[in-house]
Amino acid sequence: MVRLTTDLIAKNLSNKNRKEEDFGQYLRKMTHLNLSDKNIDAIGDISLCRNLRVLYLYDNRISQIQNLGFASNITHLYLQNNCISCIENLSSLKNLEKLYLGGNYITVVEGLDKLEEIRELHIESQHLPLGEKLLFDPRSLRSLAKSLSVLNISNNNIDELEELAVLENLSYLRAADNQLQHMKDLEAVLNKWPKLRRMDLTGNPICHKPKYRDRVVVQSQTLESLDGKEIKEMERQFLMNWKASKAARKKNRGRMTNEPADYQRFCKQTNHLLHDFAILCNIIETLK
């Protein structure tokens, strides 16, 4: 078993890195630590690295997030491609801004309800049980609502985005290779993301719907790129004008459809008035 400890850190540091400095002092000053692809199974005690800002532990065999309570200064945490099944023990990382958890075994996005500074969450391509999709804990979503700007949830069997509508500051959504199908559901949630600039839905069934791109471009006025292709202002303006023209034509057709009925009502009312007038004339004639 390979455990992340200060001894392991020492073994992976060259003399050039350490110079003549005391090792303990060196650890206390360390801000970046890269131990990716080292066959690490577990995170041990590295609390001497109290000034750590960026920690790279991707491409290992870590099964549990633990022993990071000391790391309140960490802003970037890279844990992708490990064996993690639960997001936990991160509540002390108050300054965490970017969290990378792609390629693990996570089934629920949870354990983030104490973190309010996360700007990027990458949780793509989880190894999910057959037929299941990635789920989201509402408490974690509410906590991320005002801070999260980038979300990568690609390749997780996701079939709807409604619960993500609370992410009011979302500017970049990567949700490629999922199971999104319904245009109305997508259009409804797009209205809740006023800062959305980029979105990637390639590989979803919805991409094959008629007028998919046109409808998305019209629905989101802030979107600058869809599925890797830039949205130019001329394109959006053309589609907006087309939509307005179509609505006007529909309205005119409706007015024309109603005209015969209106005319019949007018004629009927006129006939009643003429009939009443004739009766009145007869009465007047009799009185003479």
Higher pLDDT, 49 or 284: 49
Beta-carbon contacts of residue 222 (< 8 Å; ≥ 6 apart): 193, 194, 195, 196, 197
Beta bridge partners of 78: 56, 100
Q: Output DSSP code: residue 208.
A: G
Q: Using an 8 Å Cβ cutoff, are 156 and 182 in contact?
A: no
Q: Which of 134-143, 181-190, 235-244, 248-257 has the lowest mean pLDDT?
A: 248-257
Q: Strand 225-226 relative to strand 229-230: parallel, antiparallel, unpaired?
A: antiparallel
What fold does the segment set 3-249 form as a domain?
Answer: 3.80.10
Higher pLDDT, 27 or 261: 27
In this prediction, residue 288 carries a pLDDT of 47
CA distance 57 to 41: 10
Provide, rounded to the nearest whole percent, the portion of the chain with pLDDT above 90. 75
pLDDT-based confidence at 258, cuts 50/70/90? low
The single residue listed with the structure tokens 């709807």 is 160
Nearest Cα neighbor of 87 from 120, 64, 56 is 64
Q: Output DSSP code: residue 206.
A: G
Give pLDDT tens digits for 104-140: 999 999 999 999 999 999 999 999 999 999 999 999 9
Q: How many CA atoms lie within 13 A of 30 on its CB side?
A: 26
Question: Helices 212-219 & 233-287, crossing angle to 10 degrees?
Answer: 80
**Long-range Cβ contact pairs of 104-108 (< 8 A, separation 24 or more):** 104/79, 104/80, 106/134, 107/132, 107/134, 107/135, 108/134, 108/135, 108/136, 108/137
Q: How many C-beta neighbours within 10 Å does residue 152 have?
A: 21
Higher pLDDT, 244 or 254: 244
Average pLDDT over residues 57-65: 98
Give pLDDT tens digits for 195-208: 999 999 999 999 99
What number of helices (H) and strands (E) belong to the chain? 7, 14
CA distance 281 to 70: 103
CA distance 143 to 177: 26
In this prediction, residue 239 carries a pLDDT of 87
Give pLDDT tens digits for 155-190: 999 999 999 999 999 999 999 999 999 999 999 999
In this prediction, residue 273 carries a pLDDT of 47
Beta-carbon contacts of residue 45 (< 8 Å; ≥ 6 apart): 5, 6, 67
CA distance 45 to 57: 15
Q: Output DSSP code: residue 119.
A: -
Average pLDDT over residues 59-68: 97
